[in-house]
Each structure stands twice: as C-alpha cells, then as structure tokens.
Amino acid sequence: MTIDLARSEDRDALVEAASGVHYVVNSAGLIRVKPILEFTVEDLRDIYAVNVEAVWDITSRVGRSIPRGGAIVNLSSASAKLPTNTDIAVYASSKAAVISLTRSFAYAFAPSGVRVNAICPGILMSGMQDAVIASIAAIRGTTVEAVERERVAAVPLGRATNPKECAGVIAFLLSDAADYITGQALSHDGGMVTG
C-alpha cells in the first residue's frame, strides 16, 4: 500500500488496514531545508501534516484498539532536543511536537497497558540525510564533504548511525524487555544529547 500521510482519506485506509495490530511505528517524515525566514505558511502546513498531524491521527485511532502489552514508537529527531541551524528549524519544531504527543499518548494509553515512546535519531545515513546535506551545502555555498565533516564533528562517538541500528532500538522499545518504559523520547544520536 502506498499512501500520502498528509491526506486524511489515505490515513483512513491505513487505519483500516491496521485493524488488529499490536504494534505501530510512525516513521514517516518530511523535511524541507531553507533559511527559516524563507519558509512559507504552506511549507509549515505541509511539514506538520506529515510529521505531526499524521502521527497524532494514526496514534489516536490505531492506539485505541491495540491490545494490552502492545506498543507504539514514534520517530522524532535529535534536532527536537538541540539548538538547531535555522535551515531545518521547521522540521525540528515538528519533531519536538512529536515528543510532546508521545508523552501525552503514553498517559492516555497507560490504563489500557499500551506503551508509547519515541526515538530521536541523530545523523542517520539515509537518502533523506544525503538530500539534507546537499541542500545545506548549497545554502552555505560550501561542499557536501565540509557539511558532513562539520555534522560528524558534533557527534561525540564520531560517526553517523545507520538504519539497522535505529531498527534495533525500535525493536527493543516494542519488545517485552521494554514493557516498563513509556512516555520516553530516547536519544539515539551518538551522544549529541545527554542527560
């Protein structure tokens, strides 16, 4: 099934297809890279439709029918917890909203025994990350390599993460080993955010 999470009709189809599930991972995300003063209201609406509205809608509707012991993991971002460059500020603010929704849904679903957590990846090797780095380099008038070096230099462990590592953290949060963890926004960022 291919859907556009910004469209309520498509989310309706997803919610119907998800009937009877025990676990949900809200992993879709939309990012636009440009100086914050160049963003438009339309940019904000587009980003929030996917990154916030869809997370709220799917979590709210599917979460009600998840049986006791089930779990939801929402993908936020380390950018939601850090002072960020102004080129991704709207994305960062949407991911901060995901953390807030995660905490609220954790309380809402606790009586039914459904856990809700978030993971906050830092620099994740992906096609999206490649596009972000290229866009930042173009805005700053520098090279992709220079932006990559600067970003990795901000990571205490000195490297980016990869999808397999993130999937492992998500699998843990969905597993019985994490059945006493809810309402958390777990940083997975090589030490960029501590505490």
Among residues 30, 144, 38, the alpha carbon closest in space to that of 92 is found at 30
Distance between CA atoms of 160 and 152, rounded to whole angstroms? 7
> Given the DSSP bridges, would you call strands 185-188 and 23-26 parallel, antiparallel or unpaired?
unpaired
> How many Cβ atoms are within 10 Å of 38's Cβ, its own excluded?
11
Tally the residues of the chain.
195
Distance between CA atoms of 50 and 27, rounded to whole angstroms? 10
User: Which of 48, 91, 107, 180 is flagged as catalytic?
Assistant: 91
| 183 in Cβ contact with 106 (< 8 Å) | yes
Distance between CA atoms of 65 and 115, rounded to whole angstroms? 13
91 is catalytic: yes
Amino acid in the structure at residue 86: T
Active site residues: 91
